[in-house]
């Protein structure tokens, strides 16, 4: 039995997130279906992170064990040949038996994209949060600075989360502008459910003047979800990379 690591890209628009669900198509479910067919048995797929419904990925990572002996390029092509075009395995490699995509991950990078022009490009609308109006980028940057470091991010996660430990470390939270887009780049050792989207919504509130940059550190310390901003739409979020 061989352990394989894959890097996956997907447009999450038509999927109910990463994790297998009974009543909806998911990325993990599609990969499980194809791999089980190829290996003639039930295959378990371990993902680096559980992206929510509508969230995209440029560099999601997963691993699984196969009984059959595949050349890596042929396995990649066989998987892709049985998937819809909005999911693609970018690369396949053999890894040590102890490698686990989730447990071995050291850090993840997400990008939240905000489109600020009056007209959203048809080539971008699936992947951005459309926001018509001016955003104060310096205020966003000042607010973002207070979130960098090791903190309890209880104020920036879903009340439905079953995770008890809300302590995470943000290594980087950058605000950049590129043409008609404002990009929020978040890099950390792990992320809670809805964490990046809630940070994005809070920073947008700051940029609109609905909240002050100074108050964001107070929100963080409160650990109270009701004090943070709105949860920004899923389609603006992309998992960019997982580092090991």
Whether residue 25 lies inside any domain: the answer is: yes
pTM for the whole structure: 0.94
Task: Examine the domain organization and report whether 91 and 115 are in the same domain.
Answer: no
pLDDT computed for residue 22 by the predictor = 87
Task: Examine the domain organization and report whether 69 and 175 are in the same domain.
Answer: no
Active site residue ranges:
52
- Count of domains observed in the chain: 2
Q: Which residue numbers in the chain have pLDDT < 70?
A: 159-162
Contacts of 58 (CB under 8 A, 6+ apart): 9, 238, 239, 240, 241
Task: Examine the domain organization and report whether 78 and 116 are in the same domain.
Answer: no
Give CA angle at 207 (205, 210), nearest 5°: 40
What values do phi and psi take at 37, rounded to 5?
A: -65, -45
Structural domain range at position 187:
107-243
Report the first-to-last Cα separation within the chain, whole angstroms: 23
pLDDT tens-digit readout, 40-85: 999 999 999 999 999 999 999 999 999 999 999 999 999 999 999 9
Task: Examine the domain organization and report whether 15 and 113 are in the same domain.
Answer: no
Task: Examine the domain organization and report whether 45 and 166 are in the same domain.
Answer: no
Whether residue 101 lies inside any domain: the answer is: no
Given 70, 95, 120, which residue is the final one in a domain? 95
Given 95, 116, 146, which residue is the final one in a domain? 95
* CATH number of the domain where residue 66 is located: 3.30.70.580
Task: Examine the domain organization and report whether 178 and 73 are in the same domain.
Answer: no
């Amino acid at each position: 039995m061989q352990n394989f690591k894959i890097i996956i890209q997907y447009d999450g628009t038509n999927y109910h997130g990463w994790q297998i669900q009974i009543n909806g198509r998911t990325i993990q479910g599609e990969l499980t279906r194809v791999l089980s067919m190829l290996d003639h048995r039930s295959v378990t797929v371990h993902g680096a992170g559980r992206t929510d419904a509508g969230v995209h990925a440029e560099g999601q990572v997963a691993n699984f064990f196969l009984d059959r002996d595949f050349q890596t390029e042929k396995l990649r092509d066989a998987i892709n040949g049985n998937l819809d075009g909005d999911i693609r395995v970018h690369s396949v490699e053999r890894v040590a038996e102890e490698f686990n995509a989730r447990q071995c991950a050291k850090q993840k990078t997400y990008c939240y994209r905000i489109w600020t022009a009056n007209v959203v490009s048809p080539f971008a609308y699936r992947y951005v949060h459309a926001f018509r109006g001016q955003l104060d980028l310096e205020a966003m940057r000042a607010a973002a600075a207070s979130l960098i470091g090791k903190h309890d991010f209880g104020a920036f996660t879903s009340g439905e989360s079953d995770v008890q430990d809300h302590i995470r470390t943000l290594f980087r939270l950058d605000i950049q502008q590129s043409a008609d887009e404002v990009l929020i780049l978040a890099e950390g050792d792990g992320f809670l459910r809805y964490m990046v989207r809630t940070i994005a919504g809070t920073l947008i509130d700051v940029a609109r003047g609905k909240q002050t940059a100074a108050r964001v550190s107070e929100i963080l310390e409160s650990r109270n979800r009701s004090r943070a901003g709105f949860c920004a739409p899923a389609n603006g979020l992309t998992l960019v990379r997982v580092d090991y």
